[in-house]
Amino acid sequence: MTRRWFITGGTPGGFGMAFAEAALETGDRVVLTSRRPEELRTWADQYGDRVLVVPLDVTDAAQVLRAVHSAEERFGGIDVLVNNAGRGWYGSIEGMDDSSVRTMFELNFFAPLSVTRAVLPGMRARGSGWIVNVSSVAGLLAAVGFGYYSATKFAVEATTDALRDEVAAQGISVLAVEPGAFRTNAYAGFANEPVTEAIPEYHDMLEQVRAAFVELDGVQPGDPRRGARAVIAAMAQDAPPRRLVLGGGGYDAVIDALEQNLADIRASETLSRGADFPA
């Protein structure tokens, strides 16, 4: 059956476009949203009426409702939502300014919730659908210098897990996707974003973080197209996974972090159990 996709965060060479192309390869139809839709016109033209490009700032609740309405009006409904739009800023936990923290939560956490809430009524009415939330490896292990970005993605992970159980009875499936380092334009801005840390003690640490991203830009091991196809393959499994880590480096880092967490928790088992009232 031909599915109708609604994908946020469409940019040339980004994960949003990779998801769109992977869906189109399977014969599906796609609504791809972007804050700069003019950048996608030439790309969209090659697919004719199978693609609809919609302008959308996902932090604007009114625009979200209009975009979802446009998609449903054009294709009759939305079968797959991919919450892909997002961005990360770096800074210390102590020193990052409140405005940047709140902006990051608006974009990475509250915005996908807004889109999800707009799409769910149609899925519930049809008794089927997929919600794919693009989180990050940083949503499963906190990244130094990206503590608040990690916090937004940890929040996405938590709501994804709860949502999955809440909507399962309605025939709706929910998947969290955690990419590692993928060759998109996500790292391109670091070269032009000098460290602006207000607290001198953290400056050198953040400069090292920034330099690592500048060095990795353009040589990230992850292929967005392969990543998007892996997500579609996971969705097609008889027992789809609850989450899918993308990229070998990301997979290794997540497994290592989770095993360390499990060992740490088990090492304090006596203290943990001792906090109960005596039997």
Kindly list the catalytic residues: 135, 149, 153
Amino acid letter, residue 186: A
Bridge-based pairing state of the strands 129-134 and 172-179: parallel
The rounded distance, in Å, linking the Cα atoms of 256 and 269 is 20
Bridge-based pairing state of the strands 51-55 and 172-179: unpaired
The rounded distance, in Å, linking the Cα atoms of 181 and 25 is 24
The rounded distance, in Å, linking the Cα atoms of 201 and 93 is 12
Name the maximum alpha-carbon separation found in the chain. Answer: 70
3-class secondary structure for 73-92? HHHCCCCEEEECCCCCCCEC
CA atoms within 13 A on the CB side of 160: 30
Q: How far is CA 225 from CA 30, 122, 222, 229, in A?
A: 16, 28, 9, 6
Residues in CB range of 246: below 8 A, 6 or more apart: 177, 178, 179, 180, 182, 222, 227, 230, 231
Residues in CB range of 84: below 8 A, 6 or more apart: 7, 8, 9, 14, 15, 16, 19, 134
